[in-house]
Amino acid sequence: MNMDGYRQYLLENLNKLYENQVLTDVTLKVDNVRIDCHRNVLAAASPYFRAMFVNPVKERDEKVIEIYNIPSYVLGAVIGYIYTGSIQLTNENVQDFLMTATMLELTHLIENCANYMTHEVCMENCVEMLTFASHFACTKLKQYAKKFILDKFSDIIADENLFELEVDDFEELIASDDISVAKEEMIFDAIKKWINLKDSRTSLFPRLFKHVRLPLLSEEYLKNNVEQDLLIKNDPVCGKILSKFKSYKRADSNLSSEIEQEYYGVNSKPRHGMFSRKMLVFSGGTVDKNGRSLTAFDPFTFKNYTGVKPHPTFDFKYKIDYYQLVVTSDNSLYFLGGIFYDDHHFEDAGQALSEVYKYDTQAVLWERKTDMCKPRCCFSASVLENTVFVIGGKSLYPRGAPLESVEFYDADNDIWNILSPVPIGIYNHASAALADAIFVFGGRDEDDDYLDTVLRYDIPRDFWTLVTTQMNKPRTQFCAFPFKSCIYLVGGVTMHENILTVAIYDPNRNKWTYGQNFPEERKITSASFHEGTIFVCGGVRHLGLSGRRSRLVESRDLYKYDIEKNIWSKVVKMVQYSNTQSVTCAVLNTKYLEESDYVSSL
């Protein structure tokens, strides 16, 4: 019976009781609190009460029944739910309600509680949620918490609570194909840590060790960590597993997975996380106005991938310009704002977009989130943990006053909030978050003047100041990246020239230094940063043809700048699906991407 059917059933029963003027015939007593109700209503909703009032037990004929092990406020709310079908769930009461619903076998309330709790699962409580759901046999919540832990295992492994799990739940995790680990060594280390936590667990080691996928371990780790482990040396079951694996290594390397598993007892299937790669990610329009593309390039294997296919190069109808693509600390990828190509090429004051999308890696699509408070293009976006700050830009482009507006996105709660405005309207600038501040560089103002200014936003105080320094040249349409205690500026243009200089700003000393110039003449507008390396994707440059005027062309090559070594080097001649609008770095799983036949080359 669904919820609507349940409510209709109760309504019919209640109507009959009202007609017969029999509204209560039993009192439930808990903690000196008395709750008057009717046996038929309780029996209709709960098998627990049905057994109490139908079976030949003493409670069947009693007028007052003592209820134990349930807080009075919980029982009162649950009885109210039985009569009305509604209940107010909070983080503080939902576990009590779920325990009581389980005891009373209230299926609908169990489902409501489980749905509520699944939305509350996070890094801090996912292990606790799994334990709770397992104990109370709440299948839906258990599966959700388990999937969350599998997806985040590489981060959650630092949580000591993980190793408090009971063996059944822990074994389900380390046996799964879907666990997110980059190396199988993490599985063996996790097993050892779980075993070593309590002396009583030593006997369980062989049960868990069989789930280690020995073919995926490095030779060095296998020799130094596995073969030398005393638990393995002293246990005949583990010894047999290791012996079979050595026989497998001496056998034909082209064995089928069935023979590997059945005859040798080994599993060489990579885990889910082993398909994850740090990628350069691009986006833009698609063939659908409400769609966004996603393509990726692996700068280490030179492979190109598509998730959501980009718009055809011959169709500019849904091409999007001047947006921002950002990644938060939990590796969530967001597409912010922008403006359709047609709206700013064929209109004097085209309307910018306020839409925000989050990429769902496994579903391979962009999920619509809460819109920004204002439509924006040509703005800057800076990320601090799971918070995104957007600054300035234009709501109408090309003609339209630049915005002073600033807002931030709370990604955990999908909420936008307004902050103190920038002292001047500004667009095509760059910004970067460092410590507890955001620094805004250059851009253009309402008079379309090119700026060399540096502004500082103090996040805790929600306060703007003009820093007493200037860039060496006014600069617009460029990128800024924080690294250690400095901010690195790359690309952009002045009124008369492209800027090839890497400018390095140290806020602590309020000083500028400069890195090696970019090796080719071009306008650079698209760059990304990863672990001490800045990647520059293409750019716009002049191509001179004999007997003709030069023309602007968009390059799709890739360069990288090693910050520590202060060296530029070319990575590949062409990234297949790149663009010069925006690029970012994110971890993507190649299992959910389509690999292109084209492999980039140097």
The DSSP secondary structure of 66-94, one letter per residue, reads E--SS-HHHHHHHHHHHHHS-----TTTH
Name the CA radius of gyration of the chain, rounded. Answer: 31
Give the E-state strand segments of 59-177 in sequence order. 64-66
Rounded distance, CA 260 to CA 281, Å?
Answer: 37
127: containing domain: 3-194
Encode 386-416: b = buried (16+ Cβ within 10 Å), e = exposed.
Answer: ebbbbbbbbbbbeebebbbbbbbbebeeeeb
99 CB-near residues (< 8 Å, 6+ apart): 136
386 CB-near residues (< 8 Å, 6+ apart): 328, 329, 330, 332, 410, 411, 412
Three-class SS state of 160: helix
Statement to judge: residues 156 and 282 lie in one domain: no
Statement to judge: residues 368 and 500 lie in one domain: yes
- pLDDT given at position 15: 57
Select from 222, 252, 270 the last residue of a domain.
270
Rounded distance, CA 43 to CA 191, Å?
Answer: 47
Statement to judge: residues 161 and 212 lie in one domain: no
Statement to judge: residues 171 and 209 lie in one domain: no
- pLDDT given at position 21: 47
Counting as low any pLDDT under 50, the low residues of the chain are 1-3, 17-18, 20-22, 547
Select from 194, 209, 242 the last residue of a domain.
194
- The amino acid occupying position 146 is K
Give the E-state strand segments of 363-448 in sequence order. 365-368, 380-384, 387-391, 396-398, 406-410, 415-419, 430-434, 437-441
Q: 95 — alpha (psi -120 to 50), left (phi > 0) or beta?
A: alpha
Question: Which one, of 192, 147, 195, lies nearest residue 173 by Cα?
Answer: 147
Contact 355, 368 (CB under 8 A): yes
Select from 270, 296, 326 the last residue of a domain.
270
Three-class SS state of 306: strand
Rounded distance, CA 228 to CA 221, Å?
Answer: 10
Statement to judge: residues 164 and 303 lie in one domain: no
- The amino acid occupying position 30 is V
Q: How many domains does the chain have?
A: 3
Statement to judge: residues 228 and 331 lie in one domain: no
Residue located via tokens 């996603």: 294
Statement to judge: residues 536 and 397 lie in one domain: yes
- pLDDT given at position 594: 96
Statement to judge: residues 350 and 486 lie in one domain: yes
- pLDDT given at position 1: 45
449 is written with which tokens?
């003047």
Statement to judge: residues 142 and 208 lie in one domain: no
- The amino acid occupying position 474 is P
List, in sequence order, every residue forming a beta bridge with 17; answer none if it has no partner: none
- The amino acid occupying position 447 is D
Statement to judge: residues 107 and 252 lie in one domain: no
Using a 10 angstrom Cβ sphere, with 0-12 exposed, 13-18 middle and 19 or more buried, the burial of residue 81 is buried
Q: Average pLDDT of the chain?
A: 90
Rounded distance, CA 283 to CA 311, Å?
Answer: 10
Which CATH number fits the domain that encloses residue 355?
2.120.10.80
Rounded distance, CA 374 to CA 289, Å?
Answer: 19
Which CATH number fits the domain that encloses residue 17?
3.30.710.10
Chain centroid to Cα 378, Å, comes to 25
Statement to judge: residues 78 and 29 lie in one domain: yes
Statement to judge: residues 219 and 312 lie in one domain: no
pTM score of the predicted model = 0.81
